A and B are shown apart, each in its own frame.
Chain A
Amino acid sequence: MARICGSSGTARRRPGDRVNTPRRLPGSDHRGPAAPPRGAIAAREEIEHHLIECAERLVSAGWSPQEAKREAERRFGNISAVRAALESEIRRRQRWIGVRATMRILAKDTVHALRCIRRAPGFAATVTITLSVGIGGALAILQLVDAVLLRPFPVSDPKTLVGVFQSAARTTEQEDGTVTQVINRFNPLAYPNF
């Protein structure tokens, strides 16, 4: 059987070698880089390349081009299922690449911020204290409003609470003879209305 990509094993890479820049080694049929297709097209092109290579091999073994194409597709199996699996992998990889890019940006921003703080510590302290006081004050007021105005009374059915007041009338007579009656409400009480 002919070997498309001979692997003599003579050109081994050292364990410490970087692999970011692919090198063409003797025996590989790789002749140069090509622009990568995007997303779903990449999956389709990769499968298509395999089918063409396989059909070509069959033609060289005496098959007719049409039969070779059919046979290559038959040998590959469920093409649409494989394509869907590859597309799903590509999407997962792209998502992961997006997450990593965001993390890189966040890390760079954090490092930049830390450098700025080290360069101007007085300014950084002023900003920190100002922000702390501002946020703390706003938080205290909000908690007060929440506790006094927004939250219901801590009883089982606050709607049934009633207020009980006592009132006492006091009559006073002025020097010109007019009589004034003053009603005082006092001692507000509250009890649950069972």
Chain B
Amino acid sequence: MGREGLDLLRGTLDLMILTTLSSGELMHGFAMLDWIRETTENAIDVEEGALYPALHRLERRGLLKGTWGISNKGRRAKYYLITRSGRRRLEEGRTQWREYAAAVGQLADARGIE
């Protein structure tokens, strides 16, 4: 996979994470995967191994804030919260996402040169 393909995937994953946290809730990684699967009706299944490095990368860039907490099962877990810069990035990303989706949709509906 080329560099552009990787960037596109990474950007999509980042955007999915930011969207998941956009309600302002504290969520841990496992809950995020659950939310993405449920929201997309199992169409998107993010790999666990890709999620956690992405979460840490976003935290380092200041788009998420990580904090340790106790879950209702009494377990220690790392929770994430979207920051103000994260929200800004999400809004930018959503616009790009929609434009990209519209462009792909146009291509899908287009007929080739006859």
Contacts and interface: CB of A to CB of B under 8 A. Distances in A.
Contacts of B79: 22, 28, 30
Interface string A1-24: 111110111011101110110111
Nearest to A81: B49
Interface stretch (B1-9, B10-18, B80-88, B102-110): B80-88
Contacts of A32: 69-70
Interface stretch (A45-53, A123-131, A141-149): A45-53
A142 to B, nearest CB: 46
Contacts of A27: 25
A77 interface: yes
Nearest to A77: B49
A23 B81 CA distance: 9
A86 interface: yes
Interface string B28-39: 111110110110
B52 A35 contact: no
A54 interface: yes
Given A5-B34, A29-B31, A85 B70 contact: no
A175 to B, nearest CB: 100
A87 to B, nearest CB: 9
A36 B59 CA distance: 15
Contact of A50 (B26, B52, B65): B52
A89 B57 contact: yes
B73 interface: yes
Contacts of B60: 89, 92-93, 96
Contacts of B49: 76-79, 81-82
B25 A7 contact: yes
Contact of B72 (A29, A75, A78, A93): A29
A7 B35 contact: yes
A22 B53 contact: no
Interface string A82-100: 1001100110110010000
A35 B47 contact: no
A24 B27 CA distance: 10
Contact of A90 (B56, B70, B76, B77): B56
A86 to B, nearest CB: 6
Given A82-B52, A85-B53, A19 B37 contact: no
B62 to A, nearest CB: 10
25 contacts: A1-B34, A1-B38, A2-B34, A5-B28, A5-B34, A11-B23, A15-B87, A17-B84, A19-B65, A22-B26, A22-B69, A28-B26, A28-B79, A30-B26, A33-B67, A34-B68, A36-B68, A37-B76, A46-B29, A49-B28, A49-B76, A54-B30, A78-B49, A89-B59, A93-B59
